[in-house]
């Protein structure tokens, strides 16, 4: 057992990466049984702070009194094909004669641990078939197997829907309380602080961190302080007048993978000049619907008509050539080639003919000219066309992707959480660029797990819950809580 | 340079250069210590044919690597080429010169066939190309012995360290005239250099080259951009197989065979060393092939390889570049796996 009942104290902490300061003058303390949240956008040093608290990173300045050992729970990665049981005993197996795994005892210990998180019925299930929330709970349970005295979780809600995030954060609070250990989480969502965190440290790039308690600061005030007054509910260019139907999905049925929720007869249409937002948790059918739209999965039943033509069995290439454009989350691996130059990424999928190719050869002057204009028009001044794509910041990468797709002037755009994980300014830019495309007559289908994002962009809004749609009128009285209640089924 | 891979920086270049220096000086010192200055029987076509062979083997590994495939079936393709060439050589009613050229074509076809089989196994059954390539090589070794012109052991065909110490023997070959071998050998080397330079240009300038680089860098993005990843991979491994098969058939041109028989590890794998020493660049492979061909014909090499200890040391040196080149050139296996899962398990 670790050093339980010990308090975490950070005073004047400074961390650096090479010659760049990641964070300076950071001070906060966390009592045993409490949860503390570090709130910040990308590249504000959240992960580095957790690494320092876990003793994996050297402090440049300041003092740190941290109970040991610390469990640092990062994003779930790898080992997805092993069973839940194996994951739980991965770092600590009961042995027979010091050589062989004592499977009976291991199963009992794993079952007891899993029962604390309602995972005991899933011991023999492969990890890859778990829902995102279950995977998070599993990682949390596995970290407890090492009996930590300090719990550190890096962006634990990044892949969860809001109601799943709420459940998970409540669990963290319960674990911290039961184990009498301090817990620190990082997040890019102010809502994650409520109601389970005691205090929040707000991190800004290059500015001194500020710590506030959740008792003295409401969620609205916290958002205001963090964003500097950037409003949450604001439609970038107002509502649009819908035109002709572009995409019509009918009776879409698809069985979920593992413990994913299946799609149970979805029907919707997207019209020219409108933004249809669909909100849902990834495992509640949002991922499945996205896969169907991409053409990477075939539904068991249903049709997808684009401009009156049936496309349910068509490839992604055919869909793109027909006028559909896809923008995926910034971290998605399928929309850019990091080792290619920016100018090459800007012509991906457009090399079948003019203007970027002729008689089987690339036209380098056209490619370069396109890149120069795009970087100027989409306000990425620091980048040069020949720079490698991976050298760009995440926000600029997504700008390049959005630019590529928008400049094709598609009939329909399908965006899946296109601003996820970006800085606030980049989020705003990406949303605005996509929504403005509607004013040129394109339809926009926006899939997201964020109610706030949907409220900001939607002309029409549907919640995907338990594989079905719940349509919600977009009115001035619509609140985030109403959407979350529909997502979690609490509205019924 | 393989798209999507690290350039490696000056240390990789330095490591490759140091290795070549070690090979040359080591061979010289061993020969000096043994008091022997004579090497293999001098033969004017050796360097030309050895360079051509090494160059084509290097291309056999580099072409598929650009599409994200590790062509460890290069030895199987080499053996298939040797077998096909031997079948042509058995036809007594054809002139030796014609046999030599037809043998090359047949060898290229044999290697190409093995490449296609590997691509098919990967596409249909998701068998990794390293596994299928090595298994096919193991299967083809006895076949190569059976179909060879002279069934007596051809050491470079074997995967046995014990052969390092054995006196090297080879099939009698086609008894081609030295002038024929020299003239056609120069043409073959020129063709190899031309092919390498042309491929490097097409990779940079053509649409297919662009798509191929996309496949090698990020297959998921390539699929999203509308590239047929499977066909592209099959094309490159078939082209690589044809190159390796051609070298297999080339072994019948001289007696002993093209000096490449001195290569201290299974011969087909020479292509991997050439590709690594070339830093993953097509142009680099051209230089590496020429330098290694010269090294193979330096007197000390014979003395070094005739000793189990020094032969083993040389073999180790030739494998050594894999340690610092493979990690930076190895394809990202995550994306292909995701594609396979999408295709085989998640489609209705």
pLDDT tens for each residue of A456-488: 888 889 998 888 888 888 877 788 888 888 887
CA distance B67 to chain A (A): 14
Residues of B in contact with A335 (CB under 8 A): 221, 224
- 3-class state of residue A268 by DSSP: strand
Highest mean pLDDT: which of A96-100, A342-346, A354-358, B333-337?
A342-346
Chain B residues in contact with A336 (beta carbon < 8 A):
218, 221
Q: Is the pLDDT of residue B146 over 90?
A: no
d(CA B231, CA B237): 10
For residues B262 and B296, the answer to whether their CB atoms sit within 8 Å is yes
Asked if the peptide bond before residue A355 counts as cis, ω within 30 degrees of 0, the response is yes
By CA distance, what is A346's nearest residue in B? B225
Beta carbons within 10 angstroms of residue A344's beta carbon: 25
Q: CA neighbours within 13 Å on the CB side: how many for B266?
A: 21
Residues of A in contact with B221 (CB under 8 A): 333-337, 348
Given this model, what pLDDT does residue B99 score? 77
Pairwise CB contact (< 8 Å): A351 & B221 = no
Residue B45 reports pLDDT greater than 60 = no
What is the average pLDDT across A166-188? Answer: 91
pLDDT at position A293? 92
Task: Report the distance separating Cα A10 and Cα A66, nearest Å.
Answer: 8
DSSP alpha helices (H): ranges in A346-461? 364-377, 394-407, 424-438, 451-457
pLDDT (0 to 100) of residue B260? 46
Nearest to B210 among A291, A297, A362 (CB): A362
Chain A contact present for B125, CB below 8 A: no
Indicate which of B205, B218, B331 best probes the interface with A, i.e. most A CBs within 10 Å of its own CB: B218
Find, among B299, B285, B346, the residue nearest to B62 by Cα.
Answer: B285
pLDDT tens digits, one per residue of B254-264? 665 554 445 55
> Which among B207, B211, B223 has CB closest to A361?
B207
Residues 6+ apart with CB under 8 A from B215: B67, B68, B222, B227, B229, B232, B233
Best B8, B207, B280 member to test A by mutation, with max A CBs in 10 Å, is B207
The rounded distance, in Å, linking the Cα atoms of A134 and A114 is: 11
A-chain CB neighbours of B205 within 8 Å are: 361-362, 364
**In this predicted structure, what is the pLDDT of residue A233?**
40
- Torsion over CA of A199, A201, A202 and A206, rounded to 10 degrees? 170
Average pLDDT, chain A: 85
CA nearest neighbour of B102 among B90, B127, B85:
B85
What's the mean per-residue pLDDT of chain B? 76
Are A441 and A272 a contacting pair, CB within 8 Å? Answer: yes
Q: Å from B206 to nearest chain A CA?
A: 4
pLDDT digits 0-9 by tens, A183-192: 999 988 888 8
What pLDDT is recorded for position A279? Answer: 92
Provide the pLDDT confidence category of residue A284 given band limits of 50, 70 and 90: confident
The H or E element that residue A38 is part of is strand A35-39
Contacts with B, A 370-409, CB within 8 Å: none
DSSP strand pairing (A361-362 vs A357-358): antiparallel
Cβ atoms B288, B17 nearer than 8 A: no
Q: Is A24 helix (H, G, I), strand (E, B) or coil?
A: strand
Per-residue pLDDT at B171 exceeds 50: no
pLDDT of residue B344: 42
Judged by a CB distance cut-off of 8 A, whether residue A359 touches chain B is: no
Token couple for B211 = 């798509």
Residue A3 scores a pLDDT above 70: no
> What chain A residue is nearest to B216 in terms of C-alpha separation?
A337
What distances in angstroms separate CA B103 from CA B60, B84, B213, B247, B260, one per listed residue? 18, 7, 32, 10, 18
User: A262 CB near a chain B CB, below 8 Å?
Assistant: no
Which has the higher per-residue pLDDT, B2 or A338?
Answer: A338
The whole-angstrom separation of Cα A319 and Cα A260 is: 26
Tell me if A334 and B217 make a contact (CB, 8 A cut-off).
no
Burial class (CB in 10 A: 0-12, 13-18, 19+), A215: exposed
- Compute the distance between CA of residue A96 and CA of residue A166 in angstroms, rounded to an integer: 41
Q: Which helix (H) or strand (E) holds A390?
A: none
The pLDDT, as a whole number, for residue B89 is 75
Burial class (CB in 10 A: 0-12, 13-18, 19+), B179: exposed
- Going by pLDDT thresholds of 50, 70 and 90, the confidence category of residue B210 is very high
Q: Is the pLDDT of residue A230 over 60?
A: no
Strand partners, A460: A276
pLDDT given at position B255: 62
Burial of B268-291, coded b for 16+ CB within 10 Å and e otherwise, reads bbbbbbbbbbbbbbbebbbbbbbb
CB-based burial label for A100 (10 Å; 0-12, 13-18, 19+): exposed
What pLDDT band is residue A171 in, cutting at 50, 70 and 90?
Answer: very high
The predicted structure's pLDDT at residue B239: 95
Closest-CA distance, A120 to chain B, in angstroms, reads: 27
Q: Is A335 on the interface with B (CB under 8 A)?
A: yes
Q: What is the pLDDT of residues B65-109, one digit of tens each?
A: 888 888 889 989 998 998 888 888 777 677 777 777 888 899 999
- Between B76 and B300, where is the model more confident? B76
Whose tokens are 């809004």? That residue is: A461
Pick from B217, B221, B346: CB nearest A257: B346
State mean pLDDT over B56-62: 92
The position carrying tokens 């550190």 is A152
| B318 vs B205: which has the higher pLDDT | B205
Say if the Cβ atoms of B342 and A333 lie within 8 Å. Answer: no
Chain A residue numbers with beta carbons less than 8 Å from the beta carbon of B210 are 344, 351, 362
Residues A360-416: pLDDT tens digits?
A: 899 888 889 888 988 888 888 888 899 999 888 888 899 999 999 988 888 999 999
pLDDT of the residue at A32: 92
Can you tell me the distance from the alpha carbon of A219 to that of A215, in angstroms, rounded to the nearest whole number? 10
Q: Which two tokens stand for residue A376?
A: 């100027």
CB B324, CB B33: distance < 8 Å: no
Lowest-pLDDT range, A211-215, A420-424, B217-221?
A: A420-424
| CB-nearest partner of B221 from A254, A334, A361 | A334
Q: Is the peptide bond before A195 cis (omega within 30 degrees of 0)?
A: yes
Distance CA B311, CA B26 (A): 11
Whether chain A has a CB inside 8 Å of the CB on B329: the answer is no
Please tell me the distance from the alpha carbon of residue A5 to that of residue A12, in angstroms, as a whole number. 23
CA distance A257 to chain B (A): 8
| Residues 6+ positions from A403 with CB-CB distance below 8 Å | A346, A374, A377, A378, A433
Helices (H), A270-421: 286-294, 316-322, 342-345, 364-377, 394-407
Candidates A254, A316, A340, partner chain B, best to mutate (most B CBs within 10 A): A340
Classify A399 as helix, strand or coil.
Answer: helix
Distance between CA atoms of residues B195 and B275, nearest Å? 15
Neighbours of A13 (CB within 10 A): 22
Whether B286 has a pLDDT exceeding 60, the answer reads yes
Chain A residues whose beta carbon lies within 8 Å of the beta carbon of residue B223: 316, 334
For residue A367, give the chain B residue with the closest CA. Answer: B205
A361 contacts B226? CB cut-off 8 A = no
Hey, is the C-beta of A338 within 8 angstroms of any chain B C-beta?
yes
Across the range B204-222, mean pLDDT stands at: 89
- Using pLDDT thresholds of 50, 70 and 90, give the confidence band for residue A182: very high
Tokens 């050093």 map to which residue? A3
What's the residue count for chain A? 492
Measure in Å the smallest separation between the Cα of B11 and chain A Cα atoms.
20
Residue (of B163, B176, B345, B179) closest to B264 by Cα position: B163
CA–CA gap between residue A156 and residue B25 (Å, rounded): 57
Q: Provide the shortest C-alpha distance from residue B200 to chain A (in Å).
A: 14
Closest by Cα among A35, A360, A313 to A177: A35
- Alpha-carbon separation of residue A77 from A163, A287, A327 (angstroms): 23, 18, 24
Q: Which of B213, B221, B338 sits opposite A336 (nearest CB)?
A: B221
Judged on CB neighbours under 10 Å (0-12, 13-18, 19+), B348 is: exposed
Model confidence at B216, pLDDT cuts 50, 70, 90, reads confident
Predicted local confidence at residue A184, as pLDDT: 94
Give, as one character, the DSSP assignment of residue A128: G
In the DSSP assignment, the letter for residue A83 is B
pLDDT at B259: 42
Q: Do B226 and A317 touch (CB under 8 A)?
A: yes
Instruction: Judge whether A58 and A51 are in contact, CB under 8 Å.
Output: no
CA distance A335 to chain B (A): 5
Residues of chain A contacting B338 with CB distance shorter than 8 Å: 333
- Residue B166: is its pLDDT beyond 50? no
CA distance B264 to B296: 10
Give the mean pLDDT of B29-33.
75
Strands A20-30 and A8-17: antiparallel
Neighbours of A439 (CB within 10 A): 11
Q: Own/partner pairs for A155-159, CB < 8 Å, 24+ apart?
A: A155/A46, A155/A75, A155/A186, A155/A187, A155/A188, A156/A73, A156/A185, A156/A187, A157/A187, A157/A189, A157/A192, A158/A75, A158/A187, A158/A188, A158/A420, A158/A421, A159/A132, A159/A282
In three state form, how does the secondary structure of chain B look? CCCCCCCCHHHHHHHHHHHHHHHHHHHHHHHHHCCCCCCCCCCCCHHHHHHHHHHHHHHHHHHHHHCCCCCCCHHHHHHHHHHHHHHHHCCCCCCHHHHHHHHHHHHHHHHHHHHHHHHHHHHHHCCCHHHHHHHHHHHHHHHHHHHCCCCCCCHHHCCCHHHHCCCCCCCCCCCCCHHHHHHHHHHHHHHHHHHHHHHHHHHHHEHHHHHHHHHHHCHHHHHHCCCCHHHHHHHHHHHHHHHHHHHHHHHHHCCCCCCHHHCCCCHHHHHHHHHHHCCCCHHHHHHHHHHHHHHHCCHHHHHHHCCHHHHHHHHHHHHCHHHHHHHHHCCCCHHHHHHHHHHHCCCC
């Amino acid at each position: 057992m670790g050093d339980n009942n010990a308090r975490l104290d950070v005073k004047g902490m400074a961390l650096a990466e090479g010659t760049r300061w990641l964070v300076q003058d950071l001070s906060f303390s966390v009592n045993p049984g409490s949860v503390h949240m570090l709130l910040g956008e990308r590249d504000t040093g959240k992960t580095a702070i957790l690494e320092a608290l876990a003793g994996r990173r050297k402090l440049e300045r300041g003092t740190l009194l941290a109970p040991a050992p610390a469990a640092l729970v990062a994003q779930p990665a790898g080992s997805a094909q092993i069973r839940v049981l194996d994951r739980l005993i991965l770092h600590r197996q009961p042995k027979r004669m010091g050589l062989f795994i004592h499977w009976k005892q291991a199963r009992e210990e794993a079952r007891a641990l899993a029962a604390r998180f309602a995972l005991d019925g899933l011991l023999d299930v492969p990890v890859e078939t778990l829902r995102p929330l279950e995977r998070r709970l599993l990682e949390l349970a596995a970290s407890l197997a090492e009996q930590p005295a300090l719990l550190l979780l890096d962006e634990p809600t990044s892949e969860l829907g809001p109601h799943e995030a709420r459940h998970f954060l409540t669990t963290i609070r319960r674990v911290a309380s039961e184990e009498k250990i301090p817990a620190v989480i990082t997040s890019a969502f102010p809502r994650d602080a409520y109601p389970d965190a005691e205090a929040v440290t707000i991190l800004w790039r290059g500015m001194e961190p500020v710590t506030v308690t959740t008792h003295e600061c409401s969620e609205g005030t916290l958002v205001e302080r963090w964003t500097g007054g950037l409003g949450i509910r604001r439609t970038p260019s107002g509502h649009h007048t819908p035109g002709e139907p572009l995409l019509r999905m009918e009776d879409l049925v698809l069985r979920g993978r593992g413990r994913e929720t299946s799609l149970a007869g979805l029907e919707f249409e997207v019209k020219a000049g409108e933004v249809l937002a669909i909100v849902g948790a990834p495992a509640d059918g949002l991922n499945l619907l996205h896969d169907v739209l991409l053409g990477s999965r075939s539904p068991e039943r249903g049709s997808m008509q684009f401009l009156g033509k049936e496309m349910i069995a068509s490839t992604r290439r055919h869909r793109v050539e027909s006028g559909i454009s896809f923008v995926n989350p910034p971290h998605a691996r399928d929309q850019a080639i990091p080792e290619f130059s920016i100018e090459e990424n800007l012509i991906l999928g457009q090399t079948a003919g003019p203007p970027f190719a002729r008689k089987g050869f690339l036209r380098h002057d056209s490619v370069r000219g396109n890149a120069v204009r795009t970087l100027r028009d989409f306000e990425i001044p620091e980048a040069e066309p020949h720079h490698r794509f991976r050298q760009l910041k995440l926000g600029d990468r997504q700008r390049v992707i959005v630019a590529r797709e928008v400049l094709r002037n598609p009939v329909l755009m399908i965006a899946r959480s296109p601003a996820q994980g970006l800085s606030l300014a980049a989020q705003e830019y990406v949303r605005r660029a996509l929504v403005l495309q509607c004013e040129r007559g394109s339809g926009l289908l926006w899939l997201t797990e964020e109610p706030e994002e949907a409220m900001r962009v939607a002309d029409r809004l549907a919640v995907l819950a338990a594989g079905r749609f719940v349509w919600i009128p977009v009115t001035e009285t619509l609140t985030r809580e109403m959407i979350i209640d529909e997502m979690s089924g609490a509205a019924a | 340079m393989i798209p999507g891979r690290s350039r490696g920086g000056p240390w990789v270049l330095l490591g490759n250069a140091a290795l070549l220096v070690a090979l040359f000086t080591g061979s010289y010192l061993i020969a000096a210590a043994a008091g022997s200055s004579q090497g293999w029987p001098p033969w004017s076509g050796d360097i030309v044919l050895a360079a051509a062979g090494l160059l084509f083997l290097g291309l056999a590994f580099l072409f598929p690597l650009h599409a994200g495939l590790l062509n460890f079936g290069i030895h199987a393709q080499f053996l298939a080429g040797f077998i096909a060439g031997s079948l042509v050589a058995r036809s007594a009613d054809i002139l030796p010169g014609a046999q030599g050229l037809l043998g090359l074509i047949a060898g290229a076809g044999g290697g190409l066939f093995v490449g296609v089989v590997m691509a098919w196994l990967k596409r249909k059954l998701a068998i990794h190309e390293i596994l299928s390539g090595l298994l096919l090589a193991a299967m083809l070794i006895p076949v190569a012995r059976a179909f060879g012109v002279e069934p007596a052991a051809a050491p470079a065909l074997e995967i046995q360290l014990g052969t390092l110490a054995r006196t090297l023997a080879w099939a009698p070959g086609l008894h081609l005239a030295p002038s024929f071998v020299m003239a056609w050998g120069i043409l073959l080397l020129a063709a190899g250099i031309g092919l390498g330079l042309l491929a490097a240009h097409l990779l940079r300038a053509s649409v297919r080259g662009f798509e191929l680089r996309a496949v090698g860098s990020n297959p998921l993005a390539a699929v999203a951009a509308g590239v047929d990843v499977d066909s592209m991979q099959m094309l490159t491994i078939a082209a690589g197989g044809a190159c390796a098969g051609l070298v297999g058939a080339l072994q019948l041109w001289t007696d002993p065979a093209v000096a490449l028989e001195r290569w201290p590890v299974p011969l087909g794998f020479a292509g991997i060393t050439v590709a690594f020493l070339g830093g993953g660049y097509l142009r680099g492979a051209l230089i590496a092939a020429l330098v290694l061909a010269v090294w193979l014909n330096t007197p000390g090499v014979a003395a070094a390889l005739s000793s189990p200890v020094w032969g083993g040391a040389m073999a180790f040196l030739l494998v050594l570049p894999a340690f610092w080149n493979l990690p930076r050139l190895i394809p990202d296996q995550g994306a292909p796996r995701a594609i396979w899962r999408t295709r085989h398990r998640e489609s209705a």
